[in-house]
Amino acid sequence: MSIELDAQRHALTLHTVRTSYQMDLDTYGRIRHLYYGRRTGGHMAQLYPMMDHGFSPDYYAGRKSRGLSPDTSLAEYTGANTGDFRVGCLRCTNADGISGADFVYTGHEILSGAYDVPGMPCAHDQDGDCQTSIVRLKDAATGLELHLIYGVYERDDIITRSAKFVNAGSADITLTRALSVCLDIPFGDWELLHFHGRHEMERNAERMPLMHGIHTISSNRGASSHHHNPFVVLCDRSATEDQGECYGAMLVYSGSHRTDIERDFLGQTRVVMGIGDEMFSWQLSPGESFDTPQVILAYTHEGIGALSRRYHSFLRKNIMRSKFAFAPRPVLINNWEATYFNFDADKIVSIARQAAPLGIDMLVLDDGWFGLRNDDDHALGDWFVNTDKLPGGLDKLIARVHDMGMKFGIWVEPEMVSEDSDLCRAHPDWAIRVPGRDPAMGRNQLVLDFSRPEVVSHIADCLTRLLSENEIDYVKWDMNRNISDVFSHALPPERQGEVLHRYMLGVYDLLERVTSAFPDVLFEGCAGGGGRFDAGMLAYFPQIWCSDDTDAVERLSIQLGTSVGYPVSAMGSHVSACPNHQTGRTVPFGTRGVVAMCGAFGYELDPAKLTDGEKDEIRGQVARYKRWQSLIHDGLFYRLRMPENSDYAAWMSVREDRSEALVSVVQPHVHGNTPPIFLKLAGLDPDALYRVESFDVFGCTRTAPFDRSGVPVGSAYAGSQLMYAGIAMQRLFGDCPSIQMHLVRI
């Protein structure tokens, strides 16, 4: 059994194959956290001797014996206003002005299967090995109940958590903070690994020691954001990719979020995570409940790489619900950087006609196909075809593309509206904006109020009509501004703090309706690139446009940072034109292909502007990608060198049975008289022999050194030799050269 109850000691232990998670009741019936780490047995109470600490108050019942304090005890979930002065999970007030809650155990249950979080995405029980535990607690003063919900995925080494609040009292209760999880770690010297960024430079990995005090990772933008991803890792100071203790916490939510990490005066570490509390409040009338988003917890003692691979597998298997999660993806070409808004049907067909012979599978029509949409300023929300650009409508264009043997995809931005649009003129109150105040504008557009069910239903009808009336194979779902001037014309004053969360529930409702109605359509998420790259979106989108920055050098940091938590199969990654439209940099065509193959592959360029040699390169790239796609997407992913810490970046994918591997190396900056490129490979069978099936060099301006390469094609090496001794390659010459090496077990 993955959930073990010790009734005599009032202890509950959650076991996965490699980990154990334990809690029990203290002397006064409050639930405390005991342990999360490598799998073990026994009761862990010996780790927590009762000790009195000055200026840490004791519970009332223990005021004379002392030594059991809410300020030093490890909590499964914090109360509020009870003498625990550390960062907490909850703020609440009832109609009598009583602030906070002190939760005491009332019961629990153990169930088979996974639990649902109403209105929000969450993990499902793909393999039938999940168990759920619900621990129930109650505050006597307000009647507020707290249900702590745990999902135990034994074979996946994953524990999920969420919380439910139920107003079992007789008066309204207002929540102003309601986080999903508290994880207390009593001992250890930890560093924080988090993922910051900005538009066109998302999810840069940053690692720092934990100091005494509170570190906050948050977004109050109404989206998980380009700036701070809702995923953090605590790793031991000595932890590397290959060894050391690591804890991961990933929020399954796409709106405003907050994570606080505190190191307290005793050196204990607390992590709390959940919905962002900036502008948040939720009114609970008697009998009503509120559910928090799910958090996916993972622990390993085998390093950051092992933690990553645990999340990669779980997200693909237990979060993604699309049939495309494990299916081959089409290689696409998007017209955006080729035409922007300046296109017509013939120009789109011309792009498709030139792309099809190169092996490209799908043409994607981006922004500008609808309404009077010729720039950023007009027509968002008017989801009818612009017949001036597309005479005969989408049907005729799609038929022309399909006749070439290509699939057809389309861009939409359903959550937004232009002031200059038929929709906004008809329903000005459907936009989120403060009455009597000019709103801040992003991309000269406003956000539709998805906290209103009628707005969600209208957009659902528009998308349903679009996808029912046209043979569309793929949808790119964009969201190009964050939410400011938060106000809903449909909610009373006391509920305006609910707008942002209700908006997110509306987005999930829309996604649920549309993606379930059209299961054969491949949906790709986008939010100005990677502004909503999170586990909540992955429930509906098996791939997400990783960043609007398509520069191959910039993408090294973006993609490898993203890979710490998210699978490479989810990362939309394309070869684009040079000089690059975001940075002006020129990178060799081959290197652009190597970088883009670390994801869901495609192109952002105009093939009419390519030379014959570049078209030949595309043919080769597409052929290699299709040959290796299952290895890249389904294989185990290893980061060998991060670009921030070296002159070159390197990564590899290894089939789960260790029969095949693909190694990629990119050197963004070539220096004079450098040592050879040296790598220790990973994930291979140490007792097997591997043959170098291919060794390709791209963008290198001097080829002679490779006549003497230490890695000739056809050579055989022991797996142990490649992993423990390593492999050295001749230095590269030129601007951003790269290598791809394919290994096959003999």
| One domain, residues 99 and 139 | yes
The confidence score (pLDDT) of residue 709 equals: 56
Residues in a beta bridge with 290: 165
C-alpha R_g of the chain: 27
Last residue of a domain, one of 513, 545, 577: 545
Last residue of a domain, one of 319, 353, 384: 319
Mean pLDDT of 711-725: 94
| One domain, residues 356 and 381 | yes
Domain containing 247 — which CATH number?
A: 2.70.98.60
Mean pLDDT of 446-464: 98
The confidence score (pLDDT) of residue 293 equals: 98
Terminal-residue alpha carbon distance, the chain? 40
Find the largest Cα–Cα distance for the chain. Answer: 86
Residue 246, C-beta contacts closer than 8 angstroms, at least 6 positions apart: 233, 234, 235, 236, 239, 299, 300, 301, 303, 304, 306, 307
Among 4-13, 197-206, 287-296, whose mean pLDDT is lowest?
A: 4-13
Length reported for the chain: 746
The confidence score (pLDDT) of residue 706 equals: 47
The confidence score (pLDDT) of residue 710 equals: 61
Residues 55-80 pLDDT 10s: 999 999 989 888 889 999 999 999 99
pLDDT over 70 (residue 178): yes
Asked if residue 561 belongs to a domain, the reply is: no
Asked if residue 388 belongs to a domain, the reply is: yes
Mean pLDDT of 323-342: 96
Provide the mean pLDDT of the chain.
Answer: 95
> What is 284-318 written as a DSSP string?
E-TT-EEEPPPEEEEEESB-HHHHHHHHHHHIIII
> What is 56-100 written as a DSSP string?
-PPPGGGTTT----TTTS-BSS--BSSS--S--SEEEEETT--B-
Cα 633 to the center of its chain, rounded Å:
16
Q: Which of 15, 24, 140 is nearest to 74 (CA)?
A: 24
496 is in which domain, residue-wise? 332-545
pLDDT over 60 (residue 447): yes
Residue 107, C-beta contacts closer than 8 angstroms, at least 6 positions apart: 136
| One domain, residues 423 and 468 | yes
Helix, strand, coil percentages in the chain from 3-state DSSP, rounded to 5: 25, 35, 45
| One domain, residues 336 and 276 | no
Which of the four pLDDT bands, split at 50, 70 and 90, describes residue 702? low
**C-alpha separations of 617 from 15, 359, 580, 716, 736 in Å:** 51, 11, 18, 28, 16
Asked if residue 36 belongs to a domain, the reply is: yes
| One domain, residues 357 and 270 | no
User: For residue 52, how many other CB atoms are within 10 A of its CB?
Assistant: 12
pLDDT over 50 (residue 664): yes
pTM metric for this prediction:
0.97
Q: Which of 253, 269, 230 is nearest to 87 (CA)?
A: 269
User: For residue 397, how many other CB atoms are within 10 A of its CB?
Assistant: 26
The answer to whether 250 touches 274, Cβ cutoff 8 Å, is: no
Domain containing 346 — which CATH number?
A: 3.20.20.70
pLDDT over 60 (residue 528): yes
Phi, psi (rounded to 5 degrees) for 621: -60, -50
Q: d(Cα 656, Cα 631) in Å, to the nearest integer?
A: 9
Phi, psi (rounded to 5 degrees) for 225: 90, 160
Q: Which residue has the tokens 């002392």?
A: 66
Q: Which of 488, 667, 670, 684 is nearest to 590 (CA)?
A: 667
Mean pLDDT of 519-545: 98
pLDDT over 50 (residue 707): no
* pLDDT cut 90: percent of the chain above it: 91
- Environment class of 85 (CB within 10 Å of its CB; exposed 0-12, middle 13-18, buried 19+): middle
Q: How many C-alpha atoms does 621 have within 13 Å on its Cβ side?
A: 27
pLDDT over 60 (residue 608): yes
Number of domains in the chain: 3
Which of the four pLDDT bands, split at 50, 70 and 90, describes residue 646? confident
**C-alpha separations of 457 from 108, 549, 697 in Å:** 38, 33, 52
Asked if residue 579 belongs to a domain, the reply is: no
Cα 259 to the center of its chain, rounded Å:
15
The confidence score (pLDDT) of residue 705 equals: 46
pLDDT over 50 (residue 126): yes
With H, G, I as helix, E, B as strand and everything else as coil, classify residue 382.
coil
Asked if residue 610 belongs to a domain, the reply is: no
Asked if residue 592 belongs to a domain, the reply is: no
Residue 273, C-beta contacts closer than 8 angstroms, at least 6 positions apart: 179, 180, 181, 230, 232, 249, 251, 257, 258, 259, 260, 295
Which of the four pLDDT bands, split at 50, 70 and 90, describes residue 701? confident
Mean pLDDT of 207-211: 96
Last residue of a domain, one of 545, 566, 597: 545
> What is 483-535 written as a DSSP string?
--S---TTS-GGGGGGHHHHHHHHHHHHHHHHHHH-TTSEEEE-BTTBTT-SH
User: For residue 515, how many other CB atoms are within 10 A of its CB?
Assistant: 18
Q: Which residue has the tokens 């390197």?
A: 650
The confidence score (pLDDT) of residue 1 equals: 66
Q: d(Cα 529, Cα 202) in Å, to the nearest integer?
A: 9
Residue 450 DSSP code: T
Among 49-53, 298-302, 593-597, 677-681, whose mean pLDDT is lowest?
A: 49-53
Asked if residue 200 belongs to a domain, the reply is: yes
| One domain, residues 52 and 170 | yes
Q: d(Cα 432, Cα 614) in Å, to the nearest integer?
A: 47
Mean pLDDT of 705-715: 67
Residues 142-158 pLDDT 10s: 999 999 999 999 999 99
Q: Which of 716, 715, 710, 670 is nearest to 689 (CA)?
A: 716
The answer to whether 456 touches 450, Cβ cutoff 8 Å, is: yes
**C-alpha separations of 245 from 265, 425, 711 in Å:** 22, 57, 35
**SS3 labels along 103-115:** EEEEEEEEEECCC
Which of the four pLDDT bands, split at 50, 70 and 90, describes residue 674? confident
Mean pLDDT of 106-111: 96
Phi, psi (rounded to 5 degrees) for 254: -115, 5
Which of the four pLDDT bands, split at 50, 70 and 90, describes residue 704? very low
| One domain, residues 339 and 310 | no
The answer to whether 221 touches 483, Cβ cutoff 8 Å, is: yes
Cα 147 to the center of its chain, rounded Å:
26
| One domain, residues 348 and 423 | yes
The confidence score (pLDDT) of residue 501 equals: 98
Domain containing 673 — which CATH number?
A: 2.60.40.1180
Collect contacts of 706-709 with beta carbons under 8 A, ≥24 apart: 706/730
Residues 354-375 pLDDT 10s: 999 999 999 999 999 999 999 9
| One domain, residues 225 and 336 | no
| One domain, residues 233 and 379 | no
pLDDT over 60 (residue 463): yes
- Catalytic site residue 534? yes
- Environment class of 672 (CB within 10 Å of its CB; exposed 0-12, middle 13-18, buried 19+): exposed
| One domain, residues 366 and 484 | yes
User: For residue 683, how many other CB atoms are within 10 A of its CB?
Assistant: 19
Q: d(Cα 397, Cα 408) in Å, to the nearest integer?
A: 9
Which residue is catalytic, options 236, 377, 614, 634? 614
The answer to whether 479 touches 416, Cβ cutoff 8 Å, is: yes
- Catalytic site residue 498? no
Helices 453-469 and 499-517 cross at an angle (nearest 10°) of 20
Residue 391, C-beta contacts closer than 8 angstroms, at least 6 positions apart: 345
Which residue is catalytic, options 184, 534, 554, 604? 534
Asked if residue 554 belongs to a domain, the reply is: no
| One domain, residues 442 and 420 | yes
Residues in a beta bridge with 346: none
Mean pLDDT of 611-639: 97
The confidence score (pLDDT) of residue 676 equals: 87
